[in-house]
């Protein structure tokens, strides 16, 4: 039965569009098909992933970051996580700074940065935790919070003293081994635990041999793997590794690599680690200490050479990089080593979360395709997630999105850049059309600035969208303001570099999809076209305004699978759906972005702000699905027929 409500008063889905939720009601209550997991690594513990790579000899890397000091720094760091995550790190780790309130809910705390990396960037993450300046109860509280946030890995450290000398923690722990024991006692095997190793011996240890014995105590207490302090010569690490093996340490030992990136950062790190820089390195660096580019180039060459020696030894398969929150040098080193693996294929067509409770998730509505962090934020209270099929979604409890200020939901671009891209001053609705068109075309705007993002997509166009570039550019010029689209695909290999996803040997399929804002005048013509015999059975549509007045021909409000894949030995996977009920939750967010991210760039009552406000208040949000995926995409012809009708007023 076709459901075509026009207002909230006649039983339309808009009665559910306020989107509020509470924790206990947040479960996605629907029938589920248990489907074989596409990406087995999503279900493996970190120690299992690491052990598998050691056994196979596969090369891998991991990255260390520290929490930023400012909110803007947090935005930049999360962007860096996304970029460096593309290279395929096995994990990242986030350091713990006792002076920076590391266990708090501040956006700059170690806990929240690590939580964001796991939940919103999909990165396996190790959270550092130290004994310094903490009681046993405080440490337990931090570990409970880490578990609650979905963190599964802890690096247990004593930590550096706040003053010159270590002061005993009367109600806490004074050694990392005690922290390891405490974690195992209180949390059993929930956490994978990493500890630190010192290739030259800990500076406070009575001897190198004694320090090795302390390291073995940490492993015996329950540590799963070791990451070492930095060193300057490959033979230092290789000797240390053999010494560890000689006393019975059998867990993975990962060398810590510090690319020299600047004279002052090197001096600071050496001071903290109490290491001596080899004379041959000093002799190179001292004459160029004021030339950052020269030092960085030297640091890259030195690191590449040392890493190759480690990897060629046959004893090392993984490398851990101390990035200092920078990416250029580390990325260059990894590329030159051939272990930066920017595989365009994805396990699923959308960005996955690494939270343990989302490991079975393999279906999402398409609407959040360009805003995955927002989707994760709005569904964080769900107790279970769609697996195999979307199921009955008559009442999905999406949390309201009022927290546009959250650092992981903010645009990466500062206000000044956004104004350059979207217009210091808008003259008319057509000025907005031009912004959308420039984003699609890649051409500079009238002021010579390229538009690299929109409120609904903070990144440049995806490669898949480029397949539709010509048609998208054409319709945006005429006021069809597109925010989401996908081409129809009929059995492309899952290894296809543009539309492929999932394991090798499969085939992927898509229905053509188009989502856009447009004026009420255009909607009148569009509906006439959609109701013709030519399209009435072929195209599903959902049209809604900011007030929730909506029109749809979705049969009984059922979800429509728009992406699916067939893989050897598995059931069909359908990871993306157009769900009419979820669309009503998405529309609140989609309309709000006009105001929250665009209108608020301008002064209140200014002409520019009033133009955006008018679009927000009067335009409609539309999604169209062409169900005949084996045939040529008909949605562009729908648009042409609409424009033709608009040009013939007598027909309207």
Just list the catalytic residues. 64
Cβ contact 225:47 at 8 Å: yes
Tokens representing 113 are 């940065």
Long-range contacts formed by 240-247: CB under 8 A, 24+ apart: 240/197, 240/199, 240/200, 241/315, 241/316, 242/315, 243/212, 244/197, 244/212, 244/215, 244/216, 247/212, 247/213, 247/216
- Closest to 514 (Cα-Cα) out of 542, 538, 486: 486
Tokens representing 189 are 């095997």
List C-alpha distances in Å: 26 to 29, 119, 227, 381: 9, 17, 39, 5
Cβ neighbours for 626, distance < 8 A, ≥ 6 positions apart: 488, 511, 512, 513, 538, 539, 633, 634, 635
Question: Which neighbouring-strand residues pair with 195?
Answer: 226
Residue 454 is given by DSSP the state: B
CA torsion through residues 418, 420, 421, 422, sign: positive
| 432-464 b/e (C-beta count within 10 Å ≥ 16 → b) | bbbbbbbbbbeeebeeeeebbbbbbbbeebeeb
Residue 640, Cβ neighbours under 10 Å: how many? Answer: 14
Residue 508, Cβ neighbours under 10 Å: how many? Answer: 24
- Closest to 549 (Cα-Cα) out of 584, 596, 514, 580: 584
Cβ contact 463:419 at 8 Å: no
Residue appearing with tokens 């903070």: 458
- 10 Å CB burial of residue 589 (0-12, 13-18, 19+) is buried
Would you call 310 helix, strand, or coil by DSSP? Answer: helix
Q: Report the distance separating Cα 434 and Cα 176, nearest Å.
A: 59
CA angle at 409 for the pair 408 and 412, rounded to the nearest 5°: 80
Long-range contacts formed by 201-209: CB under 8 A, 24+ apart: 203/273, 203/274, 204/166
Tell me the HSE value of 400 on the side-chain side, using a 13 A CA sphere: 9
CA angle at 94 for the pair 93 and 100, rounded to the nearest 5°: 165
List C-alpha distances in Å: 638 to 437, 516, 535, 547, 558: 19, 13, 8, 26, 23
Q: Report the distance separating Cα 232 and Cα 260, nearest Å.
A: 10
């Amino acid at each position: 039965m076709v459901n075509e409500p026009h207002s909230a008063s006649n039983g339309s889905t808009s009665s559910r569009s306020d989107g509020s939720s509470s924790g206990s009601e947040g479960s996605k209550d629907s029938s589920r098909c248990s489907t074989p997991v596409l990406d087995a690594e999503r279900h493996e513990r970190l120690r299992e992933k690491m052990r598998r790579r050691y056994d196979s000899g596969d090369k891998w890397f991991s990255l260390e970051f520290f929490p930023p000091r400012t909110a803007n720094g947090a935005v930049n760091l999360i962007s860096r996580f996304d970029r460096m995550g593309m290279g395929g790190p096995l994990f990242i780790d986030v350091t713990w700074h006792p002076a920076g309130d590391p266990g708090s809910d501040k956006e700059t705390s170690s806990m929240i940065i690590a939580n964001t990396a796991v939940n919103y960037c999909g990165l396996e993450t190790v959270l550092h935790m130290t004994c310094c300046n903490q009681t046993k109860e405080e440490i337990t509280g931090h570990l409970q919070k880490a578990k609650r946030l979905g963190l599964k890995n802890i690096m247990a450290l004593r930590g550096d003293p706040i003053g010159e000398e270590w002061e005993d923690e009367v109600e806490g722990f004074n050694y990392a081994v005690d922290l390891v024991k405490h974690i195992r006692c209180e949390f059993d095997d929930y956490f994978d635990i990493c500890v630190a190793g010192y290739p030259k011996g800990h500076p406070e240890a009575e001897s190198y041999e004694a320090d090795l014995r302390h390291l073995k105590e940490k492993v015996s207490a329950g540590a799963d793997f070791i990451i070492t302090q930095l060193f300057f010569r490959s033979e230092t690490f290789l000797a240390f590794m053999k010494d560890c093996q000689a006393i019975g340490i059998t867990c993975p030992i990962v060398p810590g690599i510090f690319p020299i990136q600047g004279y002052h950062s090197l001096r600071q790190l050496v001071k903290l680690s109490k290491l001596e820089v080899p004379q041959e390195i000093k002799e190179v660096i001292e004459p160029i200490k004021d030339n950052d580019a020269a030092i960085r180039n030297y640091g890259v060459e030195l690191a590449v050479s040392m890493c190759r020696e480690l990897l060629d030894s046959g004893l090392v398969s993984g490398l851990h990089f101390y990035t200092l929150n920078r990416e250029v040098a580390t990325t260059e080193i990894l590329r030159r080593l051939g272990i930066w693996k920017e595989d365009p294929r994805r396990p699923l067509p959308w960005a996955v979360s690494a939270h343990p409770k989302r490991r079975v998730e393999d279906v999402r509505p398409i609407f959040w395709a360009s805003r995955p962090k927002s989707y994760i934020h709005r569904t964080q209270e769900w107790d279970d997630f769609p697996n195999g099929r979307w199921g009955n979604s008559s009442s999905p409890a999406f949390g309201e999105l009022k927290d546009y200020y959250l650092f992981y939901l903010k645009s990466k671009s500062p206000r000044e850049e956004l104004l350059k891209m979207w217009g210091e001053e808008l003259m008319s609705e057509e000025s907005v059309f031009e912004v959308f068109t420039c984003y699609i075309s890649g051409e500079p705007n009238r002021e010579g600035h390229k538009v690299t993002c929109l409120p609904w997509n903070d990144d440049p166009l995806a490669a898949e969208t480029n397949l539709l570039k010509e048609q998208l550019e054409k319709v945006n010029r005429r006021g069809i303001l597109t925010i989401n689209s996908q081409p129809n695909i009929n059995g492309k290999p899952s290894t296809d570099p543009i539309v492929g996803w999932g394991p090798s040997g499969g085939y992927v399929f898509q229905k053509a999809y188009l989502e856009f804002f447009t004026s009420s005048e255009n909607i009148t013509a569009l509906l006439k076209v959609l109701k013709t015999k030519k399209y009435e059975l072929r195209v599903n549509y959902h049209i809604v305004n900011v007030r929730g007045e909506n029109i749809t021909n979705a049969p009984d409000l059922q979800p429509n699978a728009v992406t699916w894949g067939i893989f050897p030995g598995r059931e069909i996977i359908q990871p993306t759906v157009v769900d009419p009920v979820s669309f009503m939750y998405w529309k609140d967010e989609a309309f709000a972005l006009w105001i929250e991210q665009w209108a608020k760039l301008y002064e209140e009552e200014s002409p520019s702000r009033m133009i955006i406000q008018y679009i927000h208040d009067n335009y409609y949000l539309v999604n169209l699905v062409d169900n005949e995926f084996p045939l040529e995409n008909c949605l562009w012809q729908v648009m042409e027929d609409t424009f033709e009708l608009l040009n013939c007023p007598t027909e309207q």
